[in-house]
Amino acid sequence: MQQRQLGPFTVSAIGLGCMNLSHAYGTPPAPEQAEALLLAALDAGVTLFDTAALYGFGANEELVGRVLAPHRSRITLASKCGMSGVDGKRVIDGRPATLKRTCEEALRRLRTEAIDLYYLHRWDKQVPVEDSVGALAELVREGKIRSIGLSEVSADTLRRAHAVHPIAALQTEYSLWTRNAEIAVLQACRELGVAFVAFSPLGRGFLADGLPDLATLAALDGKDIRRAMPRFSADNHAANLALLAEYRRIAADAGCTPAQLALAWLLTRGEHVIPIPGTTRVAHLREDMAAASLQPGVDTLQRLATLFAAGAVAGTRYNAATQAEIDTEEFAA
């Protein structure tokens, strides 16, 4: 496995997003399946594991803590605060007192004395980002966290936060079909020496060929978060299936799977880019991790650039309500 730098840590070039072991994509896998997946990732050379208080309203941190605590010295452990479950509802709260309380809860669930990378999961726009990051900086000084991250923020917000305390990583959605990071924040991370952690690098399954037709889309679990995303409406998905057909051909010509091509492409976007795909299946995990050894050729990269040119993808990634909660740059409509 290639290695990349994330703040003071050297981590696997591809990490593991743990969310869907407890949250977001319908019924989570059985505990023994989730445990096997985490241990298989460890065996495959993954050293960056990403969780959050929100995922399963604490259940994912408990899972990660229970399974990986015996291997704590081998991994870089990332979690998030500022968005969690309160009385069964998702709440964004970036007040310093809330972040400190959430950290104490996370430390107990994760069975660790310190969290290596602690992200502000969402910037609470009712609280100056300087105040939220200031609270996280106090946690660094207290030894409860080792570095600070931000999620779904703009280049301007990153710079404001970085002026308060060095930011080790910024996490946001980035893939062949979600390119907002290229407007400004990807370059801002490069300039500031901040790692860019790409979540949903497989387009929430689309780029892994996991939604190959409208029937598969219609069969999604009723609680699957994609049901509320405009990009996965029936009309938009039907339009995007035309991209998928050509994408399969490019992957086949490159001698890899569609999922591997999506991850290998991300690794070409800069030495500071670290994708964190998620999966519930060990076979898919091993497929994903093999992408670290791939090097797409110039012709392949050009074909991808042409296929996923600006405006090629139908539908926005979030609905209006969710879009209002984030701070990322957006392309003009």
- Which residues carry out catalysis? 55
Q: What is the 3-state secondary structure (H, E, C) of the chain?
A: CCEEEECCEEEECCCEECHHHCCCCCCCCCHHHHHHHHHHHHHCCCCEEECCCCHHHHHHHHHHHHHHHHHHHHCEEEEEECEEEECCEEEECCCHHHHHHHHHHHHHHHCCCCECEEEECCCCCCCCHHHHHHHHHHHHHCCCECCEEEECCCHHHHHHHHHHCCEEEEEEECECCECHHHCCHHHHHHHHCCEEEEECCCHHHHHHCCCCCHHHHHCCCCCCHHHHCHHHCHHHHHHHHHHHHHHHHHHHHHCCCHHHHHHHHHHCCCCCEEECCCCCCHHHHHHHHHHHHCCCCHHHHHHHHHHCCCCCCCCCCCCHHHHCCCCCCCCCC
